[in-house]
A and B are shown apart, each in its own frame.
Chain A
């Protein structure tokens, strides 16, 4: 998770001093996808930005917490999609493919600027995802960073363990190139323990060292005689060779043992290298396979055979040559410590599988020979390198460790997350702060959804390339088209109080926040510029509470309180007034409203599912009773804004009033127009327009976003309908000449 709960600066943005301002910050609830991301990416935010065609901003949001968007967009196991609420009734949003689309499209977006240069260099050993992430984070904080890579090219498992048809090497090179552009130096062909040692790094002046050397070499099958046979091989070594361009056929009948990504990739690579029959043997069932569903489906489509609940028992050889494997059928017993059910052999179930090549993909053993002998002797190599969970440091002072070398084989996203943790830990240690430790788990509350997710269009799938004839090593899955990406992104429910598009942060003078005072009052805040600079980069997910006048002295003065809370604006139903007509349910673009009987037998009332509400206030515009209210806009809000906009000036004559959504209102105001800002121009009603006519407006313009870019989906259409209605009703009375009224779509920045 992002370090919002911590008093330390989030990675990649300038320092802010909340404590100095007398403020404490806590997280408020976030969407399930963002919560699920091991790399801490704000998933909802970038999906929302893609839906608005704002691809570069989406790229920035992704890169805020992930320096490897193209990689993750291709190979991530997407735990976000597993938690997506749309999965409850249909298919999850294709989040991974959206990230790939953004990353491909904006791959040349320059990396963010680094913080002022620091004088304490950091060495990182290993250029896999954990090492590269830590390098990126530390570099952006201003540290001089050098990465040492044992192999000839950087990338670690990304380069040597992931098949090229899933992650083309030019893509990987490009992405690492972006990291190097920040000033990270990568030295290849430098192996820890051979070319340098931990001590020598400190001697050279590095203040801290991060060991991110990866999971090590493949584990043996543990069958008698396997070491003597060249045909029984570590699947990783096989992949490594193939990925480096070795196109020699592995054999005619290839058997792969294992169920993870490595097993699948070794099998698919073997198919590509001309093996006639490729079979994966896995000792658990399909449900337990760690490889992702897409990978498994693609492997099957390419002719790979999968056999479940099978374990190898011994090697069958003939004259020193491998001819097959004696296998046993197993069934699943009790769950083991990993939570998966342990395979139990079925006695008498032996059978033989013919093979002239066996590839073992059954886990990895850490390579830790570089460690001093006194430490090495105490380590269990099967468990990897231990770090202090509080500090992220190993037993060696100044030596940190992250990624597979600590956890054993894990996902790219987990490695990215570990990279962030290490970068923060190293930063804290160098700053001399021993406390704080690694990132604590998010304290953000869970959502309490109570409405069923709405129906959404069918999930779109990215195109795939199916070569006719022989399979090659070109990429199989391709990127979404722009139309498909936008459509897919707009299937997203944007669970949470706002869509976190961040449009409010840099450009908007109305931050859509409210100040809540402990005595129960609340009022609107126009966030002062000082707050924009000081707040965490994710204001909408942040609740700031504190004592003092530094957040918004104006707001505090108005509240007459010294304690306050900033929170997003959401809708509100005054149940006493609600007659359950359903108008709000129909209009809500986020299906956040439904009828609910408060007690059995009582009248149903509309209720807003707050985590889904994003405060567009369209419901307040259509509610026939005024029961749907905004937390900000009480009865006097419109009155005050209308009076203010129509207040007499030196112009003379009937004034022109512009109604605009808040995205546009600031620009229009800066242009000197008389503007009434609404959360969405779609929240304007025929009644409000007529009210302005009745108050003497001579011309009314409704400035909306362009169709498709409205973050509340239907703003331009609703604004247009309201204008039409007002014009129509005036027309019936022959009063159309009383006012000029038009609605027009205005491109962002195209205000005149």
Chain B
């Protein structure tokens, strides 16, 4: 449990000069609305004051890009959420996913159903490299019939990519939730319990390197786990980083496919929080017949998909989604590619709402991992991959 005085110092909130540059970057900022400046200055003046802004903040980190004093706004907000907990999760999605995450805490480890891994995919019981699947199976079931998304395809695509690079990853039945949503909702106790249990499971299996297809898992495992567990030695890669590296090292290659024009949504957890901006772009460059057209706001300047994790959703979320989908449409791209399953779900949700009102979406939202796996050299298992590459059947040249 952090104390407020400590939080003010550790996040440099006390350095805030009330200049308002942060608010100029905040996607929520509007007349009378939530602004980072108001959140920080408000809490500094009256800790017990209005908590609305604290709940609504996307923790997307756009404000931190502008702050001349280096105030860590989103850590400050996270601390406030912990110090002033909301009585319950803000929406039914949050309630469901956070409650399920909490249910995985306990001495008895989960025994995840792994039947979704088809016979064409190779996974291992033990090994140094693991795929962290995260919430994907849960999303698959939860949104089935409501949204046109197949989150498990993301997980399968990640395994296919790793197989293509000659690796059969460990997929752990005892994997618990990474704890992202609980941490950002202010439940640090549950987050810590999950982190410790997952770290113990990695150690038990001898895992040193974790790959994930989720930007939030990547940030949580890569940044928050080491902070919570100082002794943890773990290499964490988002699948885009993994692919970029494997491409460069020549262990993976793409082939063929119809020409496609794409644009890319940088997830906040990946681009701003984790500074992974170039890796996905180098993968796009390697994809045959693929043209990337950047949106007006891209890279560390990208705007949010409307909600981080499943923390908070409202009319403002919808406005952001509409605006971002409009930016994507303006590029003329056929696909809006995102490297985070949450972005995928949130944009799909907005498009489903549009469809119900008779508005046909202008772009198709697609996951990064699925897009990349589609253009792998066909029918690959780790053993075949090496020989295929050796035969020089494909090249990784960009169009």
Q: Which A positions have Cβ atoms within 8 angstroms of B?
A: 575-582, 603, 605, 621-627, 635-636, 638-639, 685-688, 690-691, 693-694, 725, 728-735, 738
Contact = CB atoms under 8 A, between A and B. Distances in A.
15 contacts: A576-B315, A579-B317, A579-B353, A603-B315, A603-B319, A623-B91, A636-B88, A687-B94, A691-B95, A693-B103, A729-B100, A729-B142, A731-B113, A734-B110, A738-B106
A579 B313 contact: yes
Contacts of B315: 575-580, 603, 605, 625, 627
Contacts of B141: 728-729, 732
A690 B100 contact: yes
Interface string B297-326: 000000000000000011101110000000
Contacts of A636: 87-88
B92 interface: yes
Contacts of B106: 738
A685 B96 CA distance: 8
A625 B103 contact: no
Nearest to A579: B318
Given A579-B314, A733-B100, A624 B93 contact: yes
A686 B143 CA distance: 13
A582 B92 contact: no
Contacts of B92: 621-624, 626, 685, 687
A735 B104 contact: yes
B102 A732 contact: no
Task: Identify whether the interface residues of B are mostly helix, strand, loop, or mixed.
Answer: helix
Most buried by A among B92, B104, B319: B92
A728 B106 CA distance: 19
Contacts of B94: 687
A733 B176 CA distance: 8
Interface in B59-112: 86-96, 98-100, 102-106, 108, 110-112
B112 to A, nearest CB: 6
Contact of A685 (B95, B113, B137): B95
B356 interface: yes
Given A582-B356, A729-B138, A687 B95 contact: yes
B289 to A, nearest CB: 36
Nearest to B142: A729
Contact of B317 (A625, A691, A734): A625
B189 interface: no
Given A579-B353, A732-B112, A691 B314 contact: no
A686 B96 contact: yes
B349 interface: yes
Contacts of B99: 687, 690-691, 693-694
Given A626-B91, A734-B112, A694 B96 contact: no
A460 B33 CA distance: 53
Contacts of A626: 90-92, 313-314
B173 interface: yes
A733 B88 CA distance: 23
Contacts of A579: 313-315, 317-318, 353
A690 B111 contact: no
Nearest to A581: B353
B96 A687 contact: yes
A690 B104 CA distance: 11
Contacts of A729: 96, 100, 138, 141-142
Contacts of B318: 579-580, 603
Nearest to B104: A733
Contact of A690 (B86, B103, B113, B349): B103
Contacts of B91: 623-626
Given A579-B315, A625-B317, A732-B138, 5 more contacts: A580-B315, A603-B319, A625-B314, A690-B100, A725-B142
Most buried by B among A576, A581, A728, A732: A732
A490 B86 CA distance: 41
Given A621-B92, A685-B96, A733 B108 contact: no
B263 to A, nearest CB: 23
Nearest to B109: A734
Contacts of A580: 315, 318, 353
Pairs A-B, 8 closest by C-beta atoms: A734-B111, A687-B95, A694-B102, A690-B99, A579-B318, A687-B96, A577-B314, A636-B87
A636 B90 CA distance: 11
Contacts of B138: 729, 732-733
